[in-house]
Amino acid sequence: MTAPSAPVIDAEGVGKEFVLRRRTRGLRRAATRVPAVSEVSFTVRPGETVGYLGPNGAGKSTTLKMLVGILTPTAGRLRVAGLEPARQRTELAYRIGVVFGQRTTLWWDLPLRDSFALLRRMYRVPAAEHRARLEELVELLELAPFLATPVRQLSLGQRMRGDLTAALLHDPSLLVLDEPTIGLDVVSKAAVRDFLRRMNAERGTTILLTTHDLGDVERLCRRVMVIDHGRVAFDGDLAGLRALAPVPRTLVVDLAAPAPPIDVPGARVIRTDGPRQWLELAGNPAAVIARVSHDHEIADLTLREPDIEDVVTRLYRERPDPSAPAIAGDVRHNVE
């Protein structure tokens, strides 16, 4: 075991370059290099919950695959739970739980119960311990009605809860999740988030997850890392990310009747649609709301926080050259 203060994940200049060989005309072959991840450095300490963010193709899944031992890095030094993932993959497997939101880790045509039984034998969990853990997880995730159902007949949300159970049956200290809430409805998302929070709070499970969902980050992650073009562009908390790339909040106003664009200080109309108008806020929302409701007859008002995607997009736009480490160098700071 590693000492309590030792990092669970320790990445130092980790990179992954894919070499794609395409057959061009005849027998000639062209090799294209795809730098999926370049020089990613970070540490994650026990008990942290870290959101690993970035646009499509940024290298999130590739990083996660290196962390769990599926892919060998082409550069750098990587330690997870004190082990070298690609080389000590079977030892590492006992200590980590992995969930791929895009596809199940369960057996498609087996009932959930049988999948769990197979996993018990793979991880050599004693029967009594397995039963107790399974009972606990099934209750937390409300899986009892589906234990006899083959995975292929489960809804996406039910399947995801099955996958979470499967990933935690051997009591791993690190949970790695690649888009665990993708495609889930609001209720299922909330269930997954609450569950992960609870695992983190009660068992001290360290969590690293990728997501495109702001809700996941806000509810779960005290720390976020943003990668872009395979590099760490930001590492800090959500407030820090917002401060770094401020995106104005939006006030959505539903007027009683269609009207010309609202003109109030501290706000700018960016879009209108019949009686609905979108105001980009520059100053204090309370003052703007007071002013708008004084001037107009209002049916409804909503204040929209910027999406994490907006913030992240803004961050990329301000850093057009992916090879320039400027922003990363200035803002990268580890949490404690």
Partner 1 sequence: MAEAGAYLRLAAAWFRSAAQYPLSLALLTLSQVGAAMSSVLAIVFVFGHARVLSGFDLGDVLFLYALSGLAFGLADFAFGSVEQLGTHIRTGTLDTMLVRPVSVLVQIAVDRFSPRRLGKVVPAAITLCYALPRLDTDWTPARIAMVPATVLCGAAICTAIWILGASLQFYVTEAREAANSVTYGGSALTEYPLSIYGQDVMRVVTFVVPLAFVNWQPALFILDRPDPLGLPEWVRFAAPAVAVALLACAALVWRTGMRRYASTGS
Ligand X SMILES: Nc1ncnc2c1ncn2[C@@H]1O[C@H](COP(=O)(O)OP(=O)(O)OP(=O)(O)O)[C@@H](O)[C@H]1O
Site residues for ligand X per CB under 6 A: 18, 20, 34, 36, 54, 56-62
Site residue total, partner 1 (CB under 8 A):
30
Segment contacting Mg ion (CB under 5 A): 61-69, 130-138, 181-189, 211-219? Answer: 61-69
Does 149 help bind partner 1 (rule: CB under 8 A)?
Answer: no
Q: How many CB atoms lie within 10 A of CB 333?
A: 11
Does 62 help bind Mg ion (rule: CB under 5 A)?
Answer: no
Does 69 help bind partner 1 (rule: CB under 8 A)?
Answer: yes
CA dist 127 and 250 (Å) reads 54
| Residue 14: CB minimum distance to ligand X, A | 13
Residue 58, binding choice from partner 1, ligand X, Mg ion, none, Cβ under 5 to 8 Å by partner class: ligand X
Does 146 help bind partner 1 (rule: CB under 8 A)?
Answer: no
Of residues 115 and 179, the one with the C-beta less far from ligand X? 179
Residue 89, burial from CB neighbour count under 10 angstroms (0-12, 13-18, 19+): middle
Does 91 help bind partner 1 (rule: CB under 8 A)?
Answer: yes
Does 56 help bind partner 1 (rule: CB under 8 A)?
Answer: no
Cβ density class 151-171: b for 16+ within 10 Å, e for less:
beebeebbbbbbbbbbbbbbe
CA dist 331 and 319 (Å) reads 13
Indicate which single residue of 2, 123, 285, 298 sits in contact with partner 1 (rule: CB under 8 A).
Answer: 123
Instruction: Tell me if 295 sits within 8 A of 262, measured CB to CB.
Output: yes
Indicate which single residue of 37, 50, 53, 68 sits in contact with partner 1 (rule: CB under 8 A).
Answer: 68
Residue 113, burial from CB neighbour count under 10 angstroms (0-12, 13-18, 19+): middle
Segment contacting partner 1 (CB under 8 A): 91-99, 190-198, 243-251, 301-309? Answer: 91-99
Residue 224, binding choice from ligand X, partner 1, Mg ion, none, Cβ under 5 to 8 Å by partner class: none
Residue 118, binding choice from ligand X, Mg ion, partner 1, none, Cβ under 5 to 8 Å by partner class: partner 1
Indicate which single residue of 12, 39, 114, 309 sits in contact with partner 1 (rule: CB under 8 A).
Answer: 114
SS3 13: strand
Does 98 help bind partner 1 (rule: CB under 8 A)?
Answer: yes
Residue 177, binding choice from ligand X, Mg ion, partner 1, none, Cβ under 5 to 8 Å by partner class: none
| Residue 70: CB minimum distance to partner 1, A | 5
Does 110 help bind partner 1 (rule: CB under 8 A)?
Answer: yes
Does 324 help bind partner 1 (rule: CB under 8 A)?
Answer: no
CA dist 150 and 52 (Å) reads 32
Indicate which single residue of 7, 38, 49, 61 sits in contact with Mg ion (rule: CB under 5 A).
Answer: 61
User: For every residue of 157-201, which 3-state class applies, written as one string?
Assistant: HHHHHHHHHHHHCCCCCEEEEECCCCCCCHHHHHHHHHHHHHHHH
Longest dimension (CA), the chain: 75
Residue 188, burial from CB neighbour count under 10 angstroms (0-12, 13-18, 19+): middle
Q: Dump the DSSP string for 95-164.
A: TEEEEETTS-SS-TTSBHHHHHHHHHHHHT--HHHHHHHHHHHHHHTT-GGGTTSBGGGS-HHHHHHHHH
Does 105 help bind partner 1 (rule: CB under 8 A)?
Answer: yes
Does 94 help bind partner 1 (rule: CB under 8 A)?
Answer: yes
- Strands 9-23 and 75-80: what pairing? antiparallel
Site of interaction with partner 1 (CB under 8 A): 18-19, 62, 65, 68-72, 74, 86, 89-91, 93-94, 96, 98, 100, 103, 105, 110, 114, 117-119, 121-124
